[in-house]
Amino acid sequence: MTGLNISNELAYKALVNKDSCFEGLFFAGIKSTGIFCLPTCRARKPKKENVEFFSTAKEALANGYRPCKICRPLENPGETTAEIKSLLRELELNPSVKITDYKLTQMGIEPNKVRRWFIKNHGMTFHTYQRMLRINNALQNIKNGDKVIEAAYESGYESLSGFQHSFKKVVSQKPSESKNGNTLSFERFSTPLGPMLTIGNNDGIYLLEFTDRRMLETELKELEKYFKASILPGTNKYIKELKVQLDEYFEGKRKEFDVPLKTFGTEFQRKAWDALLTIPYGTTRSYEEQAGIINAPKAVRAVGAANGSNRIAIIIPCHRVIGKDGKLTGYGGGLWRKQWLLEHERKFVS
C-alpha cells in the first residue's frame, strides 16, 4: 500500500474490526468481487489473501476496482471533499454569506449530503455551522469597537431582534454585554493521519487533537469552563499559521514549531509538558527519563498520566515518550499514529 506507512496486517485487522479510527486512511480492494470499500464497511469480510490496500480512492479506481454500493467509499464522510472545501473557503472569505439549500442545489451540491457531513464531523447541521460562524464574526467586530447594530448587519442579519436572539442563544450573553467576553475559534482540517481539530484565538493555540480522540468532548468542556469562553467555528492568524507549519512537518520540512501555545493544568502537568518540549525531533525518551528531568524520579505513573492529559498533539510531542524497554505505550491518538510519527521523524532527522 502506498502513501501511509500502515502495514497490511494492521489495515486488515482494522477492516475486520470495522475500526472507524482508520476511516479515510485506506481503502480495501476486494479481489474476489472487484469492489473497494471503507474500513467500516458492513459487508462480509474477505480472506486476507483476497484483499489489497490503497491510500486513496483514486488508486483503487486506477487499479480497476468499483466503489462498493454498501459503504459508498467515494462519499467517505471522514474526508473533506472538494465540494465541502469550496463551501468552507467561501464562508471563510465571507462569513456573512447565507448558503441556503436552494443555493446548494443551484451549485449542483446535494443539501442532504452537506448536512450529513457537518453532523458527522462537527456535530451540527450546515446551517447551524453558518449561524455560529456569523455570530463569531459579529462578536469579533463588537470587540473591535463596532456598535451592535453595525455588527448585526455586517454579519448578514436583516433584523436587530433576530440577531440578538441568535447571539444570546449561542454565546449566553446579550451582544451589548459581550465586548469583554471571551471566545475561541475552532477549525477542522485534514492531515495524512486523519482529520484534526484545533482551537485558538489571537493569543495562541489552545488545543490540537485528532477528531477521534475519546477525551475530545471532555477537553472542549474543560476549555469552555476554564477560560469561560464560547467555542465557535472560525479562524484566526494562529490557526492559519498552525496549518501551514503542520503541512511543513508532514512534508518533512519542519522540525520545530513556533506558534504560541496556551495551556492550563496543574503545576506537575505543566512541568511534564515543558519537559516534552525539550525532546529533540527524531529522538525518544522513556517515562523514567522524563520523570528524572522534572525532579520526580518516582512519579513515573504520574508522568504518564500528565502526558495523557496533553491537549496539543504533535507540537507538544508526547509521541516521543516510550517505555523503558523501548516498546510503544499509551497515546491518545492511537499507537499506530505514535509509530507513524516516530518513523516519519526518523526518516527526516538527518
Query: Over the stretch 336-346, which tens digit does the pLDDT of each residue have?
Result: 899 999 999 99
Q: Which grid coordinates are listed for 311?
A: 491537549
Q: Which of 75, 90, 115 is at the close of a domain?
A: 75
Q: What is the pLDDT of residues 280-315, one digit of tens each?
A: 999 999 999 999 999 988 888 999 999 999 999 999
Answer whether residue 289 is part of any domain. yes
Same domain, 167 and 131: yes
Split into its structural domains, the chain has a count of 4
CA distance 316 to 306: 12
202 touches 136 (CB < 8 A): no
Q: What is the pLDDT of residues 154-181, one digit of tens each?
A: 655 655 665 666 666 665 555 555 555 5
Give me the domain span that covers residue 308. 267-348
Q: What is the pLDDT of residues 210-228, one digit of tens each?
A: 988 888 888 988 998 898 8
Closest by alpha carbon to 304, among 314, 290, 294? Answer: 290
Report pTM: 0.66
Angle between helices 82-93 and 111-122 (to 10 degrees): 80
Contact partners, residue 49, CB within 8 Å, separation at least 6 = none
> Residue 165 is part of a domain; what is its CATH number?
1.10.10.60
CA distances from 30 to 45, 263, 273, 300, 333 (A): 9, 46, 44, 46, 28
Choice among 37, 41, 71, 318 that is catalytic? 318
For range 200-205, the mean pLDDT? 92
Q: Is 318 among the catalytic positions?
A: yes
Helix/strand/coil percent split, the chain, to 5: 45, 15, 40
Q: Which of 23, 57, 75 is at the close of a domain?
A: 75
Q: Which grid coordinates are listed for 78?
A: 471522514
> Residue 25 is part of a domain; what is its CATH number?
3.40.10.10
Q: Burial letters for 252-263: b for 16+ Cβ neighbours within 10 Å, e otherwise?
A: eebeebebebbb
